[in-house]
Amino acid sequence: MALFEEEMDSHPMVSSFLDKLVNYTNLTQGAHEHEEADEEEGSKKKTVKSPQMGTFMGVYLPSLQNILGVILFLRLTWIVGTAGISESLAIVGLCCSCTMLTAISMSAIATNGVVPAGGSYYMISRSLGPEFGGAVGLCFYLGTTFAGSMYILGTIEILLTYIVPQAAIFRAKRKEEEVDALLNNMRVYGTCCLSFMAIVVFVGVKYVNKLALVFLACVILSIFSIYAGVIKSIFDPPDFPVCMLGNRTLQNHNFDKCLKTEIIDNLTVTTKLWKLFCDGPNINATCNEYFTNNNLTLIQGIPGLTSGVIFENMWSEYGPLGMLVENRKLSSFGESNPTKDIYLPYVVNDISTFFTLLVGIYFPSVTGIMAGSNRSGDLRDAQKSIPIGTILAIATTSFIYISSVVLFGACIEGVLLRDKFGDSVKGNLVIGTLSWPSPWVIVIGSFFSCCGAGLQSLTGAPRLLQAIARDGIIPFLQVFGHGKANGEPTWALLLTAGICEIGIIIASLDAVAPILSMFFLMCYMFVNLACAVQTLLRTPNWRPRFKYYHWALSFLGMSLCLAIMFISSWYYAITAMAIAGCIYKYIEYRGAEKEWGDGIRGLSLNAARYALIRLEDAPPHTKNWRPQILVLLNLDSVQGVKHPRLLSLTTQLKAGKGLTIVANVLQGTYLMKEAEAKKAEQNIKSAMSAERTKGFVHVVVSSNLRDGISHLIQSAGLGGMKHNTVLMGWPGTWRQSSDPLSWRNFIETVRETTAAHQALLVAKNVDSFPTNQDHLGSGTIDVWWVVHDGGMLMLLPFLLRQHKVWKKCKMRIFTVAQMDDNSIQMKKDLQMFLYQLRLDAEVEVVEMHDNDISAFTYEKTLVMEQRSQMLKQMHLSRTEREREIQSITDESRSSIRRKNHGATENLNVSRQSSTAEDTQEDEAQLIHDKNTASHVAMNDKAEAGPDQVHMTWTKDKLLTERNRSREPNANMAVRDLFNMKPEWESLNQSNVRRMHTAVKLNEVVVNRSQGAQLVLLNMPGPPKNRGGDENYMEFLEVLLEGLSHVLLVRGGGREVITIYS
């Protein structure tokens, strides 16, 4: 393996890699998952005992226990009676189909690699990314928490309604107060029960886990007792008579005989029932009219499986709040009077009933399918157990629910089915009347079942919240990641209990059930979406061991979840989606960035690829044109950003729209500069984050800066998403720089952007531009429109004013009129043009006359040409020096002795040459500065005198330079430079005319716009003859003198703004 020994640290041997996989075990729930990013943090895993639970004990039974629960025992008979067997089967089929399809999708995700403890949250977050994962994870957490509320309310309802009704604290004096009294009792006892359960969970979860099998045994025993009661009803139906007045069902609490009168000792006496409808016990007392006109009838509440009652219960009996529960077969005389009937002992609807409401109430009875995946850390083979156990559990419970719907409708009288609390059978649990051997089997079994489910919810929900908090994707949840020394989530338990108390205060089981339905449905919907996205993207890592899935099934499951959400309660659905959306946006903007290889990123990649291919077809229309900016940044010696305000300007110009590429060029080779390039990229990203600039970073390593910038201009971007504008800073120190490449690179960049038909923006004094936090309360953005170059000058101020920094600035447009122009007509035309462009701006036409060329202009041109000659002479001396060094190097190859001697000569010559060159450059700069200062003093028109003196010399450096200038070589160089000064008559007249234009235009701009917040000015192009490049820089410098905030604009050769809609 010697071939690979140098790479062993980063590429270990296969045997070592396999050893690590064998030693890997699932982490406890709530702990950090096993990922490379977390390994880098240095946390080492502790050796844990290998999990041993199989499919039956680890997945099937827990799922069975979570699915079968409070709704089956307390509400299923009422749902069957209200919706009828046909619509009840539709409700059950709809909900069970939804969970079965979700289980198929979940099985595919769960078998696509190792699923650490964390269950559904882990699967969704790693499949759909941290934003969706966090949002749906919190929804699943809220659903589990409200499920705890529902189970506690179910426990208290069983306790106060069927076990010890005497324990009620609030008692109704009148019949219409019974509902309020029941809700208040639920709130008090529910809060006490929640506190007790929270203490149990806090003290020891192990006791809850040990009792889980007991609670499961209660559920199974209760279900068997129901089936046993159904079989017994075939040949010996239980005796639960229901008293009917006419066709109305009576509450059988306060009377024992379904009679108006009875004969005792040959005397006709009234019964207790008589006293409920009449104003006295006497036989001649005034009674309710309906009571007088109708007879009392006893019907059997449980007629039995073979009675044929199934046909009567086939159809629905929906009704409003307060509707009487009636048997349509019985005769009735008289109309109902709701104002009086409310005080009489009739069985009535306590809520308005309709199909969609029943869907929302029933759906929690099919939740709990995630129980197996939540225990994945305890399973021997999670990839095998989760699909088999979950699908079998759903199939089993679906069979139980469907058979229960049919059997309840076939065995129980319709009026008793619609009696939610069993008031017509002396307050017995309706499902208990069917059970065998006693109703108490169901009552006690359902009580402990609800208790166990509530404890399980209070155990699981805090751990789920702890897992989300420890993932670090939601900053404000960080505190809930902490707990006791053994890892128990104390703070998360407190929050869970607080949210659970909200459900307890609502107090109604029928009101809480739709709330948790929403959260569970949203979780299931995204599980299906995750499977569908992964399947359609066909990512290389998508290789589930469970093969019986299809993207169409996942989409069907997702559609069913969404449909059931809006079917059951559209306003709850919108609220749940709003909560999830807020969490999503919060994670997107404030959460930690995580790369989990999720499907949403893959989907974004596919969508981006498709969009780029479409964009490639044709260039954008003028109406869609916006600046796609390539920002050329300079970095310092430690790779820090020199001019971060360029990024601020980009943000203000873009407002988050369009493409932004921030680029930099490092000089060297990539192999040598790789670390610096990565550091530069990170520093630029940090600066972009600080300046809120959204875009991409592109750091290029090139042999020289010129080629690097050229490569960026040519190749930055991809397909149709390429830049059309280049933004860079003005090279303010170009005069002081000893390297002519500093300004030659700038000019070549201008040429290349023009050749590439790209716009160019050059910001002068960019470090004094406003930051994104500044708010300019007033001021103007002045546009000097000298030549038309596609409308960039018009568009840029409009874009800037969209940002809050520039919003209150006014826009002024100046244009220049010459002698033969009609300035009045020009102003009218410009105003009309701006009106058609829908731009608000003040318009002013400035007249510039061809005056005689001033002495100041000649002096400026003279200094400029002096500098040009000086730079050429310095460049020539450098070339001659290089030739001399090369000749010495060639001569040294002849012998070792001469080579050593040649090296000494080389050193001496180099020192002498460099000294002479530095002296020449420094003296040249000093001469230029002095000349400039003297010309400024002589000319009254130059108002910004100090700005024209580019003095960069300290006192010490000046003394040093004077000493050096006494050397013979330096004196000779200075004499030569002075001898190169041309006379005015020999000046290049083209340069004189250009300097005259620059001086006059500068005077006008400074006069009108010196106080403006920003000046936008046409940027003249560089000369076609490269020999005048240094003069071009002087022209621009003169043009910009005296202006603080300037943005030079050069169009890209196409129209970017239009008057058409």
Give per-residue pLDDT as tens, 775-829.
Answer: 888 889 999 888 887 888 888 898 898 888 998 899 999 988 877 778 888 888 8
Structure tokens at 856: 């100041």
SS3 267: strand
What is the pLDDT at residue 885? 46
For 60, which DSSP code?
I
Lowest mean pLDDT among 183-187, 256-260, 682-686: 256-260
**What confidence tens digit (pLDDT) does each residue in 302-351 have?**
998 988 899 999 999 999 988 899 988 888 888 777 777 777 889 998 88
Positive or negative, the CA dihedral 638, 639, 640, 643 is positive
**What confidence tens digit (pLDDT) does each residue in 551-570 have?**
999 999 999 999 999 988 88
Q: What is the Cα–Cα distance from 148 to 141, expressed in whole angstroms?
A: 11
| Residue 949 banded pLDDT, cuts 50, 70, 90 | very low
**Residue carrying structure tokens 């659970």:** 500
Q: What is the Cα–Cα distance from 1023 to 747, expressed in whole angstroms?
A: 10
What is the pLDDT at residue 937? 36
Average pLDDT for the chain:
79
Q: What is the DSSP string of 753-813?
A: HHHTT-EEEEEETGGGS--TT----S-EEEEEE-S-SSSHHHHHHHHHTTSTTTTT-EEEE
Q: How buried is residue 652: exposed, middle or buried, by Cβ count under 10 Å (0-12/13-18/19+)?
A: buried
Positive or negative, the CA dihedral 513, 516, 517, 518 is positive
Q: What is the Cα–Cα distance from 948 to 937, expressed in whole angstroms?
A: 11
Structure tokens at 1061: 């809609």
Instruction: Say yes or no to pLDDT of 442 above 80.
Output: yes
What is the pLDDT at residue 497? 94
What is the pLDDT at residue 505? 94
What is the pLDDT at residue 859? 57
Q: What is the Cα–Cα distance from 505 to 497, expressed in whole angstroms?
A: 12
Q: What is the Cα–Cα distance from 1013 to 870, expressed in whole angstroms?
A: 37
What is the pLDDT at residue 28? 34
| Residue 945 banded pLDDT, cuts 50, 70, 90 | very low
SS3 307: coil
Stretch 1045-1053: mean pLDDT: 87
Q: How buried is residue 1050: exposed, middle or buried, by Cβ count under 10 Å (0-12/13-18/19+)?
A: buried
- State the Rg of the chain over Cα: 43
Count CA atoms within 13 Å of residue 550 on its CB side: 3
What is the pLDDT at residue 9? 65
User: What phi, psi does 980 have (nearest 5°)?
Assistant: -80, -5
Q: What is the DSSP string of 550-605?
A: -HHHHHHHHHHHHHHHHHH-HHHHHHHHHHHHHHHHHHHHHSPP-----HHHHHHH
Q: What percent of the chain has pLDDT over 70?
A: 78
**What confidence tens digit (pLDDT) does each residue in 85-137 have?**
999 999 999 999 999 999 999 899 888 877 665 566 777 777 777 888 888 88
Q: What is the Cα–Cα distance from 940 to 952, expressed in whole angstroms?
A: 25
Q: Tell how strand 261-264 and strand 248-249 pair up.
A: unpaired
Measure Cα distances from 222 to 407, 441, 570 in Å. Answer: 15, 6, 35
Question: Dmax over Cα atoms in the chain, in whole Å?
Answer: 154
Q: Would you tell me the crossing angle of helices 76-110 and 119-158 to the nearest 10 degrees? A: 160
Total number of residues shown for the chain: 1061
CB 1015, CB 1047: distance < 8 Å? yes
Q: What is the dihedral of CA 760, 762, 766, 771, to 10 degrees?
A: -20
Give the distance, in angstroms, between the CA of residue 467 and the centroid of all CA atoms in the same chain.
19
Give me the amino acid identity at 417. L
| Residue 952 banded pLDDT, cuts 50, 70, 90 | very low
Stretch 714-722: mean pLDDT: 84
pTM of the model: 0.69
What contacts 126, CB < 8 A, 6 or more positions away?
133, 596, 597, 598
Nearest Cα residue to 785 out of 834, 745, 820, 824: 834
Task: Please name the helix (run of DSSP H) or strand (run of DSSP E) that holds residue 662, with its range, or none.
Answer: strand 660-667
Cα angle for residues 851, 856, 858 (degrees, 5° grid): 85
Q: What percent of the chain has pLDDT over 90?
A: 27
**What confidence tens digit (pLDDT) does each residue in 976-995 have?**
434 444 444 545 667 777 78
